[in-house]
Structure 1
Amino acid sequence: MANNQLSTLKKGLIVLELVKQMQGITLAEVMEKLKLSKSTAFRLLTTLEDMNYIYKIQSQYFFNFKLFSKEETERQKNDWTSLRSIYQFAQSLQMSTYLGKLDGTDFIMTQVINEPYLHPTDKEIGNRSRVYLSALGKVILAHLEEEELNKLLNRMALEPATPNTFQDSQLFRYHLKAIKEDGYAFDDEERNIGIRCVAVPVFRDKKGIAAFAIAAPAVQISRRNIKQIATKLGAGSKAIAEEIEALEKK
């Protein structure tokens, strides 16, 4: 009996270490990587989930860093750099992926994933830009309440970063209305020449709390594939919102 218990404990620890190493992993992937039967893998994962060592979002399991580190907990609350679901979409789209939020009249990056899409790009996390300059900022502005939006726009001068930057405030307001109707924003080399960006909002309790986006050279993002990219980002946005909610409940 003791040997069986030790064997089970060892397998459980191996599974826990694997989940920790991966940026999200499915039951099938655990079975394949560790050569476990479906019943054994499921039992181990369920036990670890019940003990709060890991958590599940849709079909993927994630390591619960919050359980082990107070510092990690604070980081999760403040800038979401520990979120794991963003990696799945960066790897799927094979494009640089961004997550950020509004801070006054600035947009601040809270997570950046560049090729090979395995680790955060720390040097870009915390970068700030004027909120009107990018798809990320515009999609957040578009989903603000009218009063809050007016206050922000009245504090901003639309200074151009490139010849494509919006400079007419009235035209910009119409642009924001179109973004809200479409559900996504498009940055057509408005911040950086040669770079396009597509962004969608991240909602919590029906309120936009962040923006999720991809950016790539203009040749990779055409007007014909924007909607397709936006649809994929929408799925990513929902996964991120679910992960934020799951982490805050732990």
Structure 2
Amino acid sequence: MHTNDVPADVVGRAVRLLVLVGGHPHGITLSELARESGVPVSTSHRLVNALCREGLVEFESSGKRYKPGLRLFQLGQRAGQAYGFAGTALPVMQEVTRATQEATLMSVLDGTRHLYVHYVDGPLTVGVRSEPGRHGPLHCTSMGKVLMAFAAQDVRADLLDRVELTPYGPNSITDREVLREDVRLAAERGYATADEEHHQGLRAVAVPILRPDGGVFAALSTAAPAFRRTMDDLVTMVPLLRSAAAELSARLPPR
């Protein structure tokens, strides 16, 4: 029995270390890896070096730091292609940005958070920046609200009970009943907004990208600085976002 448990534990620890390295693109030391993962230093050293041999992690000797390796980048690119985030989504999102002159973002639901999977920068000097691969909260972002609003009923109910209502921005929702109502409205009207809820000075609007069976695949958003766009300005972009979402729904591979 113990013999069968050991490999699974080793794999779990190795995956934990790989995820931690992936979350530190500028590198992380062995002692930091051990501390953050809870894996002893000697075991962390053995496992992370095994990941280095496979090219998933790279050791930077000058700073004695472990960084994501090229093979990890390659796997990420392949995953993105499989989901259609790059080849399929990029041209459609670029068209949206050309029309709005603002950033276009895409996210998918990942547990009790959303994961930024694609981003097109706007052409104006001051704009919204995003980094694919990072997580965002559900309760104070337009994409997070849309992903909850169009999730399966049991998933939506669970998320509305469990998401942390951290006050990230000046207008973050911190009352669970207010969040429930906001998500209900998003489901009713087909889009969600966030008005300086995640970051001060940032507004956004999002629509769902639906699968053929009606389930939500991802969320598509336009985000802009508050000094340049009123909330009403962004809402006028909803038809454009819906058109792009419909095109993506037809073109993205099923999940």
Q: Same fold (TM over 0.5)?
A: yes
| TM-score bracket, shorter-length normalisation | 0.5 to 0.7
TM-score, normalised to structure 2's length? 0.63
Q: Percent identity?
A: 25
CA-CA distance at 1:171 after TM superposition: 1.3
Deviations 1:89-120 (A, max 9, x none): 11111101101100001111110110349xxx
8 Å contact 2:143–2:206 — kept in the other structure? yes
- Counterpart check, 1:146 vs 2:153: yes
> When the two structures are aligned, how many residues end up with a matched partner?
175
In structure 1, what is the Cα distance between the partners aligned to 2:78 and 2:206? 27
Q: Paired residue for 2:211?
A: 204
- Give the partner amino acid of 1:160: P
Contact 2:83–2:252 (CA<8 Å) still a contact in 1? no
Instruction: Give the gaps of 5 or more residues in structure 2.
Output: 1-73
Q: Decide whether the 8 Å contact of 1:79 with 1:111 is kept in 2.
A: no
Residues 170 and 93 of structure 1: is their aligned pair in 2 closer, same or farther, counting only changes over 3 Å? same
Once the two structures are superposed, the pairs formed by residues 1-250 of structure 1 within 5 Å of their partners are: 74-78=79-83, 80-82=85-87, 83=89, 84-116=91-123, 124-205=131-212, 206-245=214-253
1:104 and 1:239 map into 2 onto residues whose CA distance is: 26
C-alpha displacement at 1:241, in angstroms? 1.4
Tell me, which stretches of 5 or more residues in structure 1 are unaligned?
1-68
Whole-Å Cα distance in 1 between the matches of residues 234 and 123 of structure 2?
23
Note if contact 2:121-2:129 (Cα within 8 Å) is conserved in structure 1: no
Deviation at 1:185, TM superposition (A): 0.6
Q: Normalized against structure 1, the TM-score is what?
A: 0.64
The structure that is helix-richer by fraction is 1
Q: Is the 8 A contact 1:140 1:211 kept in 2?
A: yes
Kept after mapping to 2: 8 A contact 1:85/1:243: no
CA distance in 1, matches of 2:155, 2:75: 34
C-alpha separation between the residues in 2 aligned to 1:237 and 1:178?
Answer: 19
The offset of 1:157, in angstroms, is: 2.3
Q: Distance in 2 between matches of 1:122 and 1:198?
A: 15
C-alpha displacement of 1:122: 10
Checking the alignment, whether the CA contact within 8 Å between 2:84 and 2:252 is kept in structure 1 is no
How many Å apart are 1:78 and its aligned residue?
4.2
In 2: Cα distance, 1:123 partner to 1:217 partner:
13
Q: 1:71 to 1:142 in 2, by over 3 A?
A: closer
**1:156 and 1:115, CA in 2 relative to 1: closer, same or farther beyond 3 A?**
closer
Conserved? CA contact 2:204–2:234, under 8 Å: no
CA RMSD for the aligned pairs?
2.5
Which letter maps to 2:99?
S
Q: 1:34-62, CA deviations, whole angstroms, 9 ceiling, x for partnerless residues?
A: xxxxxxxxxxxxxxxxxxxxxxxxxxxxx
Cα separation, partners in 2 of 1:126 and 1:73, compared to 1, 3 Å? closer
